[in-house]
Structure 1
């Protein structure tokens, strides 16, 4: 009898627990919704013209395009930077993803640099760990 794996991956909307490699548009939308409520105290809704369903469809398309172009880690950091940087006003109490993507796109370069630096640091630590374990093996021999 085959063993059954009872561990399940978190739902795609559970952005805090889902591995970044498994994120999709639903995950990014859940993140945006929660960050907007936490930072600005309002419910998230996409901006722009058209019906509500058209605005959500347009935003999900933009998220998917950015996800394919930049990858999940960079897109996540980009959104975090934009939320941290945005200063609300009475007309625009929070940034929509369309606004971030259109007018705060300079943060993509910063997000790319931060993620690249973190990856280089992780690689350097991994190389040092491997060198140390190789050195231990040579000492043993």
Structure 2
């Protein structure tokens, strides 16, 4: 069995993503979206922010938040790119609640589907 590198976000299951994986993901998405290299003021500070976010939420929430930030951000001449420090400091208060709400709604919808499926299965067994 080959071991997948934590830098390989494409092949590593989201549940195993860590700070290194998220940094690689940020670099990849940033360069693909804006066509310029990913730059941050301090990788150490940004790493702490990512680690705190992972501890408070989980990988799915963090990835959705990052994706929402990239989708929402409009580059300017003065700020042609985006980094996690900016997302965490200035965008989190506006977009993270929306991401959390969407995930809660999805989870509730899935739970309802499971309950309907279980009820239907039980009804079929009772019928037989």
**What TM-score, normalized by structure 2, do the two folds share?**
0.89
Deviation at 1:72, TM superposition (A): 1.6
SS of 2:8 mapped into structure 1: coil
Number of the residue aligned with 1:78: 65
Residues in 1 aligned to 2:55 and 2:109: alpha-carbon distance in whole angstroms:
24
Decide whether aligned partners of structure 1 residues 138 and 11 sit closer, same or farther in structure 2, where only a CA change above 3 A counts: farther
1:123 to 102, 111, 127: 111
Check conservation: 1:36, 1:44, Cα contact below 8 A.
yes
Task: Please state which structure has a larger fraction of its residues in helix.
Answer: 2
Larger Rg: 1
Query: Is 1:100 equivalent to 2:87 in the alignment?
Result: yes
Number of the residue aligned with 1:16: 10
Equivalent residue pairs, number: 127
Gaps of 5+ in 2: none
Query: Is 1:136 equivalent to 2:95 in the alignment?
Result: no
Gaps of 5+ in 1: 1-5, 48-54
Please provide the CA RMSD for this pair. Answer: 1.5
**What TM-score, normalized by structure 1, do the two folds share?**
0.82
SS of 1:11 mapped into structure 2: coil
Residues in 2 aligned to 1:16 and 1:123: alpha-carbon distance in whole angstroms:
28
SS of 1:12 mapped into structure 2: coil
Deviation at 1:33, TM superposition (A): 0.9
Decide whether aligned partners of structure 1 residues 138 and 9 sit closer, same or farther in structure 2, where only a CA change above 3 A counts: farther
